[in-house]
């Protein structure tokens, strides 16, 4: 019984330590954003993350994302293109659970505070159908961030 109590106590300590590390990473990512976007700290973010091993359709998908962003969201949200394979950007990997060659993450920012995030999945698979790609991207952004 004492052994079980010891294991549960150890688990609780580890859980708190992991949560604190996660909060520190979130804070580091937030600080990077606010340093890069100091003119409008209330603007929500669309991150396009890629790594050093891009998929076949990733460059085309990135171009399409940027085009849809410029047509629909340029004045509403900030857009950042980030190579999460670079050591300087390692904090993003843990904060947003990045693992795919292309990941799009929307981050809701209100009153200078991060409220949460949501990923847009599978865009690289939609490049053969630009109309469906555009509609899906716009619907996902408007659905999560609204059209501020």
What is the pLDDT averaged over residues 130-135?
Answer: 97
Distances in Å between the Cα of 6 and the Cα atoms of 2, 9, 42 are 6, 5, 45
Q: Tell me, rounded to whole angstroms, the distance of Cα 104 from its chain centroid.
A: 6
- Tens-place pLDDT, residues 21-58: 444 444 555 555 555 555 567 899 999 999 988 899 99
b (16+ CB within 10 A) / e for 58-95: bebbbebbeebbeebbeebbbebebebbeeebebbbeb
pLDDT score of 90: 86
When mean pLDDT is compared across 5-9, 35-39, 118-122, the lowest value belongs to: 5-9
Burial zone of 138 (CB within 10 Å; 0-12 exposed, 13-18 middle, 19+ buried): middle
């Amino acid at each position: 019984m004492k052994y079980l109590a010891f294991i549960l106590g150890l688990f609780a300590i580890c859980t708190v330590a992991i949560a604190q590390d996660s909060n520190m990473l979130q804070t580091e990512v937030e600080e990077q954003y606010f340093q890069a976007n100091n003119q409008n700290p209330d603007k929500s973010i669309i991150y396009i993350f890629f790594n050093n091993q891009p998929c076949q359709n990733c460059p085309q998908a990135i171009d399409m994302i940027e085009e849809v962003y410029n047509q629909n969201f340029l004045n509403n949200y900030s857009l950042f293109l980030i190579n999460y394979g670079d050591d300087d950007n390692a904090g993003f990997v843990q904060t947003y659970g990045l693992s795919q060659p292309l990941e799009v993450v929307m981050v809701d920012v209100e009153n200078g505070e991060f409220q949460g995030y949501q990923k847009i999945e599978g865009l690289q698979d939609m490049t053969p159908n630009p109309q469906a790609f555009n509609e899906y991207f716009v619907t996902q952004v408007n659905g999560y961030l609204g059209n501020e």
